[in-house]
Amino acid sequence: MARIATFFDAVWSILKGMGVTFREMVRPTITEFYPYTRPELPDGARGIPVLLSDEEGNLKCVACELCAKICPPQIIEIIWHRGEDGKGKKILDGFNLDASRCMFCGLCAEVCPFEAIAMSDVYELTTDDPTTFVYDIKRLAELGRKQTTPITNYGVKTTYVGTEASGKTVPLDSVVTRPAVGQPGSERTAVSQ
């Protein structure tokens, strides 16, 4: 008798599993064809921190070093000097950020009293060269100048494109134009190219 109950229990389990499978087969797909189409990130999404500029294109950073002091992994390095015979206000010479150790916590953007640093929507940081993870003042300022939205939850959206159609990450200094491509076939994927 126990064998018959076990048999019917196994058949019932298989039928329940197949029911789930058939139900999912008729639902519309929700697949995103990344990297061919990038997801729409919400306002305030946390990518790499960037340096923001004012209307004239000058960096807002005054080298107060609050972001470097609050950063938990201590990845921000600020280089500055005093103007006017060493007694004037600080002048920013360099701003380095090691993105390989960044936690994307947003504390640097939160503590900045001048809104000079914000979290961007740039999240595609994969590379085979570890030296490209160190962002200098030039690269961070260039990303910040691509800002398209006001600061929301310490984050901004940029015009950074991200990846080429082949799925390879584009250097942050270049701009990519994407051709209008439909959904890729099974033979055309980012991995196979």
Q: pLDDT tens across 19-74, in order?
A: 999 999 999 888 888 777 778 888 778 889 999 998 888 999 999 999 999 999 99
Residue 176 is predicted with a pLDDT of 42
Q: Going by C-beta distance under 8 Å and a sequence separation of 6 or more, which residues neighbour residue 82? A: 88, 89, 90, 91
Residue 165 is predicted with a pLDDT of 43
Q: How far is CA 92 from CA 89, 120, 189, in A?
A: 10, 21, 44
Average pLDDT in the 76-100 region? 88
Report domain extents, the chain: 49-144
* Residue 77 in this model has a pLDDT that exceeds 90: yes
Model confidence at 161, in pLDDT bands (50, 70, 90)? low
Average pLDDT in the 120-144 region? 87
Q: Which fold has domain 49-144?
A: Alpha-Beta Plaits (3.30.70)
The tokens of 9 are what? 């229990």
Point out which residues pair with 92 in neighbouring strands: 80
Model confidence at 88, in pLDDT bands (50, 70, 90)? confident
Give the max Cα distance, the chain: 98
CB 145 within 8 A of CB 112: no
- In this structure, how many other beta carbons lie within 10 angstroms of the beta carbon of residue 85? 6
Is pTM, for the whole model, over 0.75?
Answer: no
Q: Is 116 exposed, middle or buried (0-12, 13-18, 19+ CB in 10 A)?
A: buried
Residue 106 is predicted with a pLDDT of 92
Residue 166 is predicted with a pLDDT of 42
